[in-house]
């Protein structure tokens, strides 16, 4: 594990560096407080730090304050190394953001134990962050397909729609549905239906650009948000996706199953004004049903959505 060691005394710095290296740490050194703060706030910087209180540029508490001001960064566990022993000084250091302190000269065993405590705290922090991200993922993603769920994809669509209007760039939307999916479930069983949903989801993710978003809109229906995609590009891309899905045999526990998709498509192109989000989606969905009524395995384009006033737009995108 990397540790930052900050001390302006070269002799003390070298001695402590050897001690920490003997403990198995990868040591990054700094000789003033500004260097220490920059190292700790840099991407991939050390998350464990041993910092001398008295240093040029920034003292130990100043380094703590600089690090704690970066709320979005991963947590850094900071130990202050000081010859000050008064309770008032200890309080100043802790209030500045230090997690612990050691008084000089520090005992090797105590140093090792306190660093080990810091390591445990960081491990706990990582587990909490991992658990939080897992909960966030589950709240916004579909459990079966790992695509964005309905709420998640609509939130992304709302954000992209607002960005499209703000920057005057095109935005396209595809609503697609697996053709005759009920027959697949009735013929092969629901486990095979789930396999088909998972495989179609995987194909859709790989058939769109990294900046595009795919969500499971409900049942066997998917919603694809294509940022910066104009009508002409949408015509090409929608048909490419449709052809690729219909061309590939889907291998399941019951053998190969042929699958096709029907698409409803819509585009907003500059000059863009505020758009009713619900109407935007409904028009694409209505185009999807026309595609299914016309024989399935095809793309039908909807007319542009209704433009609303800017005051109404503020309510629609919030």
What confidence tens digit (pLDDT) does each residue in 98-131 have? 998 888 888 888 899 999 999 999 999 999 989 9
Q: Which domains does the chain have, with CATH numbers?
A: 2-138 (3.40.50.2300), 150-316 (3.30.70.270)
Per-residue pLDDT band for 305 (boundaries 50, 70, 90) equals low
State pTM to two decimals.
0.69
DSSP 59: -
pLDDT at residue 300, rounded to an integer: 96
pLDDT at 270: 79
- Confidence label for 310 from pLDDT (cuts 50, 70 and 90): very low
Reply yes or no on whether the pLDDT at 235 is more than 90: yes
β-pair type (48-52, 2-6): parallel
Q: Are 63 and 76 in contact (CB under 8 A)?
A: no
Omega within 30 of 0 (cis) for the link into 179: no
Average pLDDT rounded to a whole number, residues 31-55: 91
Q: Comparing 56-70, 83-97, 230-244, 279-293, which segment has the lowest mean pLDDT? A: 83-97
Q: What is the pLDDT of residue 86?
A: 67
The answer to whether 216 and 300 are in contact (CB under 8 A) is no
pLDDT tens-digit readout, 246-304: 998 899 999 999 999 999 999 988 776 667 788 889 999 999 999 999 999 999 999 76
Q: What is the pLDDT at residue 303?
A: 77
pLDDT at 307 over 50: no
Answer whether residue 309 shows pLDDT above 50: no
Least confident residue range of 18-27, 67-76, 138-147: 67-76
Among 74-83, 231-240, 305-314, the least confident range: 305-314
2-6 sheet: strands from edge to edge? 26-30, 2-6, 48-52, 77-82, 100-103
DSSP code at position 141: B
Q: Looking at residues 92-100, what average pLDDT do you find?
A: 87
> How confident is the model at residue 276, as a pLDDT?
79
Please say whether the beta carbons of 58 and 28 come within 8 A.
no
């Amino acid at each position: 594990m990397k540790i930052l060691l900050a001390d302006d005394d070269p002799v003390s710095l070298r001695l402590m560096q050897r001690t920490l290296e003997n403990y198995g740490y990868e040591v990054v050194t700094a000789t003033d407080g500004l260097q220490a703060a920059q190292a700790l706030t840099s991407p991939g910087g050390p998350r464990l730090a041993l910092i001398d209180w008295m240093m040029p540029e920034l003292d130990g508490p100043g380094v703590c304050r600089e690090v704690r001001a970066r709320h979005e960064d991963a947590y850094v566990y900071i130990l202050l190394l000081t010859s000050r022993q008064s309770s008032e000084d200890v309080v100043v250091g802790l209030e500045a953001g230090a997690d612990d302190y050691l008084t000089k000269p520090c005992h090797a065993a105590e140093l090792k134990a306190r660093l080990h405590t810091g390591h445990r705290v960081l491990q706990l922090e990582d587990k909490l962050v991992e658990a939080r991200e897992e909960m966030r993922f589950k709240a916004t993603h579909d459990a079966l397909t790992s695509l964005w769920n309905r709420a998640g994809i609509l939130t992304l669509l709302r954000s992209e729609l607002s960005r499209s209007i703000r920057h005057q760039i095109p935005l396209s939307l595809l609503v697609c549905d697996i053709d005759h999916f009920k027959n697949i479930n009735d013929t092969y069983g629901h486990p095979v239906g789930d396999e088909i949903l998972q495989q179609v989801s995987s194909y859709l993710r790989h058939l769109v650009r990294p900046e595009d978003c795919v969500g499971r809109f409900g049942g066997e229906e998917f919603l694809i948000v294509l940022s910066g995609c104009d009508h002409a590009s949408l015509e090409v891309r929608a048909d490419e996706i449709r052809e690729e899905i219909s061309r590939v045999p889907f291998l399941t526990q019951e053998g190969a199953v042929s699958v096709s998709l029907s698409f409803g498509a819509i585009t907003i192109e500059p000059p863009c004004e505020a758009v009713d989000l619900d109407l935007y989606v409904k028009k694409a969905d209505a185009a999807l049903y026309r595609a299914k009524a016309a024989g399935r395995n095809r793309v039908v384009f909807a007319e542009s959505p209704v433009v609303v006033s800017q005051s109404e737009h503020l309510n629609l995108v919030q």
